[in-house]
Structure 1
Amino acid sequence: MFIYVVKTGDSLYSIATKYHVSMDSIWYKNALNSDRLVPGQDLIIPTNMYIVQPGDSLYSIAQMALLPMETIRLINCLCSDELWVGMNLYIPPRVKYFAKDFGYITPSTPEKNQIIVQRFASITNYYGIFEYHIFEDGSLSSIPNDEQLVTLVGMNNVAPLAVITNLTQTGFSQDLVGKILNNPELSQRVIDHIYNLVKSKNYAGVNIDFEKVRGEDRDKYSCFLCLLRERLRPEGYCTSVALPAKTSDEISWLQGYDYGGIGASVDFVFIMAYDWHEVSSLPGPVAPINEVRKTIEYAQNYIRRNKIILGVARYGYDWMMSNGKVESARAISVMDAMETAMKYQAPIQYSIEDQQPFYRYRDESGKLHIVWFEDVKALAQKLQMVVDYQLKGIGAWQLGLHFPQAGYLVDDFLTKQL
C-alpha cells in the first residue's frame, strides 16, 4: 500500500483509474462516507504496485510508500534513480517490527463494546478500560457492567487493564492524589482496593493515570507505584502507568514525575505524547514530531526502551476564532476533522516542520475556525519512531475516536508480539 495525497481536480474515479485499483477498495480502506474529496486529504491506496506519474521521483514515491528509497531501488533492480511515466514499481511488504500495543477504551453498550474490541484485537495486546476513580477514603468507583467488557476483551486474546485515575467532577485533583501519597495508611488502602478490584473482576493488571502530581510528591509517587507492583506481581498481574510527555526536568509542572523512579517501579509506561496544543491553548499542532522525538530521547535516558509505549492521538482540535483570539475550542476525531474539511471544501495543508495537517474554514455564521489533527502521514512518522528507537510499542487515546485508516497502518508497521 501507499499513501496518496489528493490534488485539486482529483476524483475517486480518477485516482482509482490512475493506479489500477477499484474505487470500492479505496472507499473501504479509508471508510469514506461520500465520493467528495478535498485537496490535501490523504488516502491509503491498497496495492503493491505503483505506476509512476508525471513529476514523480524515487524520493517522493518512497515517501508515499513509507519505505526507504534503497529498498524500492533494490527490489525493482534499478541501476539509477531515473524513472519514466507509466513505469510499474513493485512496493514490497514492510519488514514488520514486533511490538506490544495498548489502546484505551471507554465502556459502552454490549454491542458497541464488541465492535471496538474485535476491531482492534488483532493488533492490540492491552486494553485500558477507562476509568475507575479514587475517593478520599481510598476506595474506588465502579464501572457498570464492566464484567461483560472484561470477559469480551479476554476472549479476544487481549489483556484488560483497569485504569485508575485521580479524576474528580472538577478535573484531575492535585489535592486528592497528594493526600493519598502523603498518608501511608491511605496509600495502602488504595493499593488494597486496586488489588481486590483486579482479582475480583479478572483484570490482567492496572494502568495508573494520576495527573498533576506535585513536585514535592515526586518520590512518594514512585514509591507508591513500587509498592503497588510488589502487591500485584506475585500473582502475575501487570502494573503500568500513564505519563505526561516530558523533555527535561526543568518544566516545573512536570517535576512530580520522576521518569527513572517510575520506570523502575512498573512493568511499562504509556507516554501521552500529545496535547502540546489543546482546548485551552492557541491553535497549533497536537503532537509535533520534534517534541515527540525529544520526549522519546529524554525518556530512554531513564526508562528501558522495552518498557516504553508511545501514546498517540486519534483526534485533533477545532478552534473557533474571534478577532485573532480563541473564542472556543473542541476536540474532534480524525474522521470528524476530515468530514468537516470535505463539508466546507477547506484544502488541507501539511506542516513539514510539525508533520501534522491543518486547515481553516468559515462556518455558516462566518466565524473562522482553525483545525489541527493527526492523519495517516503523521501517524506513520510516529510508527517509524517506534521502530527506529526500538520501543515496546505504540498506544492510542482512545480507540472509540474514529480514525479508520489507523488500524491498517499499524498492521503495516507492526506485528503483535504475544
Structure 2
Amino acid sequence: MQIHVIKVNESLTTIARTYHTSVKDIIEANELPNPNNLVVGQSIVIPIIGHFYFVQPGDSLFSIARKFGVSYQELAKINRINVNQPLNVGFRLYIPQAPKRNAEFNAYVEPRGTTVAPVLESSAREAAPYLTYLAPFSFQARRDGTLKEPLLNNFPAIAKANRNVLMMVITNQEKDQFSDELGRILLNDMAIQDKFLNNIVETAKKYGFRDIHFDFEFIRPVDREAYNNFLRKAKQRFKNEGWLMSTALAPKTSATQKGKWYEGHDYKAHGKIADFVVIMTYEWGYSGGPAMAVSPINQVRKVLEYAITELPSNKILMGQNLYGYDWTLPFVQGSVAKAVSPQQAIQLAASHHVPIQYDAKAQAPFFKYTAEDGKQHEVWFEDARSIQAKFDLIKELNLRGMSYWKLGLSFPQNWLLIVDNFNVTKRPT
C-alpha cells in the first residue's frame, strides 16, 4: 500500500500513471469525497501490493534497503538494476511488502437515544471484518448491582458473522457521567458486588459476550486496591466460564500521576489480572479544550513507553480516535468543538480551498479556514499518515494491537492500512 500526499497541480490521472494503477481503484479505495477537487496536502492510499520509494538526496541502495528491512542485493534484483548503479534523486524503486505480524483490533460502537442509527450498524458491518472484538458501549452499572443495557440491535449478529469476540463493556456511569460514588458502592459493598457479578454472568450468557470489559473511570484513589481486588474476583468468575476479561485505562506516564482520572488505575495490577487492557491514548485535543491534535504521537509514545515498564506489551491495545474536531477561533473556555470524520475534514478543506498541513511532531494533519460567517476555524483530524505512524509504533513496542473510539465516522483508509500492516487475529467462535 502506498501513501501519497497531493501536490500542487496533481490529478488522479497523473497519480494513477505514476503508480501503475487506475483512477477508479484510487477513488474506490479512498471513497474519495473530492475526486475532482483534490486538496494540496491531502493524503490518499494507492491500492498496490508493496510500495514505491523515490530516491532522496543522500540515499544509497544500501541505506534504502536497510530502511525497509530487505537486502540491497534483493532490492537491486527486484528493480532490475546493478548493485553498483548510482541512484539519481527522484529515481523510483519498488519496495516489496514486508512480512506481516498478527495483531488484535477492537472498536467501540455507541448507540444513543431510543434507536440505533442506521449509520452505526452500517459502520459496524464495514469494520467487523477487520476486528477481533466488537464492543457495544455500554452496560451501565446501577447502585443495586443491576445493569442498564445499551441498544444492541444487530451487533451480536454482526459480531458472530465476522468472527468477532463480542465485548461486554461495563461502566460506572450514571446519566452518562462517570461516578466515583457508584464505583465506591460496587467495589466495597460485597453483597451488591456479588449481585453485580451474577447479573454480568447472566447477561453475558444471554447475548453471547465472551470478553467482559470494565471501563471504570474516576475511581477514588482510596478505592484503587478495592478495584484491583474486584478485578481478581471477577477474573476468576469469568475464567470459569471460559471468557476473557479486559479493562480500560487512563493514559498515565507514571505510577504516581495525580488527578481523579488516573489515581484509581493501577497499571501493574491490571497487567497481572486482566487478559488485556485498552489504554485510552486520545483526547489531548478534546471538544472542550483548545485546538490541537487529538492523539499526538509524541504524547501517545510517552504513555505507552511508561506502560510497557509496568505491564506486558502484548497485553496492550493502543487507544485510537476515528474522529477529529473543528474548533472556532479564538478558543473560548466553555465553547465546544464539532466532531468531524476524516472524510468530512477533507470535504471542509476542499470546499474552502485551503491546503492541508501536517505537524511532524504530533504526526497529525490540520488546516485553518474562514467560515461563511467570517469566523476563523482550525481542524485537526486523522489521515493515512497519522494512522501509519501509530501502526509503526505498535510494531516498535510490540503491542497487542489497537482499539478504536468509536465507529460511525467514516475513515476508509484506516481499514485498508490495517490489512496492509497486520494479520487481524480472529478468535474461535
Deviation, structure 1 residue 70: 5.0
Aligned pair partner of 1:140 in 131, 147, 151: 147
Amino acid in structure 2 at the alignment position of 1:129: P
5+ unaligned residues in a row in structure 1: which ranges? Answer: none
The secondary structure found in structure 1 opposite 2:154 is helix
Deviation, structure 1 residue 130: 1.3
Deviation, structure 1 residue 66: 12
Q: In the alignment, which residue of structure 1 is the partner of 2:306?
A: 298
The secondary structure found in structure 2 opposite 1:128 is strand
- Residues 58 and 161 (structure 1 numbering): CA distance in 2 closer, same or farther, change over 3 Å? farther
Q: In the alignment, which residue of structure 1 is the partner of 2:4?
A: 4
- Residues 309 and 61 (structure 1 numbering): CA distance in 2 closer, same or farther, change over 3 Å? farther
Matches within 5 A, 1:171-250: 171-250=177-256
Residue 94 (structure 2) pairs with residue 93 (structure 1): no
Deviation, structure 1 residue 41: 0.6
Matches within 5 A, 1:38-77: 38-48=39-49, 56=56, 68-69=67-68, 71=70, 73-77=72-76
Deviation, structure 1 residue 73: 4.4
Residue by residue, what CA displacement relative to the aligned partner does 1:125-172 show, whole Å, maximum 9, x if unpaired?
11111111111212111234x363213311221110111112232522
Amino acid in structure 2 at the alignment position of 1:99: A
Residue 37 (structure 2) pairs with residue 30 (structure 1): no
Residue by residue, what CA displacement relative to the aligned partner does 1:354-399 show, whole Å, maximum 9, x if unpaired?
1111111111001111111221111111111111111111121113
Structure 2: how far apart are the matches of 1:106 and 1:238?
21
Structure 2: how far apart are the matches of 1:28 and 1:178?
50
Structure 2: how far apart are the matches of 1:266 and 1:52?
42
Give the stretch that moved more between structures: 245-254 or 311-320: 245-254
Amino acid in structure 1 at the alignment position of 2:40: P
Q: In the alignment, which residue of structure 1 is the partner of 2:366?
A: 358
Structure 1: how far apart are the matches of 2:188 and 2:110?
30
**Number of paired residues?**
415
Q: In the alignment, which residue of structure 1 is the partner of 2:283?
A: 275
Q: In the alignment, which residue of structure 1 is the partner of 2:418?
A: 410
Matches within 5 A, 1:8-23: 8-23=8-23
Structure 2: how far apart are the matches of 1:66 and 1:283?
39
Residue by residue, what CA displacement relative to the aligned partner does 1:295-344 show, whole Å, maximum 9, x if unpaired?
11111111112211111111111111137778431222222222211121
Q: Is the 8 A contact 1:13 1:23 kept in 2?
A: yes
Percentage identity across paired residues of the two chains: 32
The secondary structure found in structure 1 opposite 2:265 is coil
Aligned pair partner of 1:320 in 321, 324, 328: 328
Q: In the alignment, which residue of structure 2 is the partner of 1:257?
A: 265
Residue 137 (structure 2) pairs with residue 130 (structure 1): yes
Structure 2: how far apart are the matches of 1:332 and 1:163?
25
Q: In the alignment, which residue of structure 1 is the partner of 2:79?
A: none
- Residues 74 and 111 (structure 1 numbering): CA distance in 2 closer, same or farther, change over 3 Å? farther
Structure 2: how far apart are the matches of 1:304 and 1:52?
35
Amino acid in structure 2 at the alignment position of 1:121: A
Residue by residue, what CA displacement relative to the aligned partner does 1:54-96 show, whole Å, maximum 9, x if unpaired?
x84586999xx99934538454216369434774422211210
Structure 2: how far apart are the matches of 1:169 and 1:60?
60
Structure 2: how far apart are the matches of 1:228 and 1:24?
51
Residue by residue, what CA displacement relative to the aligned partner does 1:87-140 show, whole Å, maximum 9, x if unpaired?
442221121011122111235759656643442333211111111111121211
- Residues 119 and 67 (structure 1 numbering): CA distance in 2 closer, same or farther, change over 3 Å? farther
Structure 2: how far apart are the matches of 1:294 and 1:49?
30
The secondary structure found in structure 1 opposite 2:224 is helix
The secondary structure found in structure 1 opposite 2:388 is helix
Q: TM-score, normalised by structure 2?
A: 0.88
- Residues 194 and 58 (structure 1 numbering): CA distance in 2 closer, same or farther, change over 3 Å? farther
Q: Is the 8 A contact 1:319 1:326 kept in 2?
A: no
Structure 1: how far apart are the matches of 2:13 and 2:418?
27
Structure 1: how far apart are the matches of 2:97 and 2:264?
43
Residue by residue, what CA displacement relative to the aligned partner does 1:9-47 show, whole Å, maximum 9, x if unpaired?
222223223333211111011111232111111011123
Q: Is the 8 A contact 1:117 1:156 kept in 2?
A: no
Structure 2: how far apart are the matches of 1:127 and 1:67?
38
The secondary structure found in structure 1 opposite 2:403 is strand
Structure 1: how far apart are the matches of 2:234 and 2:159?
23
Residue 352 (structure 2) pairs with residue 344 (structure 1): yes
Deviation, structure 1 residue 243: 1.1
Structure 1: how far apart are the matches of 2:97 and 2:295?
28
Residue by residue, what CA displacement relative to the aligned partner does 1:273-309 show, whole Å, maximum 9, x if unpaired?
1111211221111111121111111111111122111
5+ unaligned residues in a row in structure 2: which ranges? Answer: 77-81
- Residues 75 and 338 (structure 1 numbering): CA distance in 2 closer, same or farther, change over 3 Å? farther
Structure 2: how far apart are the matches of 1:289 and 1:186?
41
Q: TM-score, normalised by structure 1?
A: 0.91
Structure 1: how far apart are the matches of 2:101 and 2:197?
35
Q: Is the 8 A contact 1:282 1:326 kept in 2?
A: no
Q: In the alignment, which residue of structure 2 is the partner of 1:387?
A: 395
- Residues 324 and 121 (structure 1 numbering): CA distance in 2 closer, same or farther, change over 3 Å? closer
Q: Is the 8 A contact 2:180 2:219 kept in 1?
A: yes
Amino acid in structure 2 at the alignment position of 1:363: A
Structure 1: how far apart are the matches of 2:102 and 2:53?
32
Amino acid in structure 2 at the alignment position of 1:13: T
Q: Is the 8 A contact 1:123 1:411 kept in 2?
A: yes
Q: Is the 8 A contact 1:318 1:332 kept in 2?
A: yes
Give the stretch that moved more between structures: 107-116 or 264-273: 107-116
Q: Is the 8 A contact 2:128 2:164 kept in 1?
A: yes
Structure 2: how far apart are the matches of 1:288 and 1:396?
15
Structure 2: how far apart are the matches of 1:96 and 1:325?
45
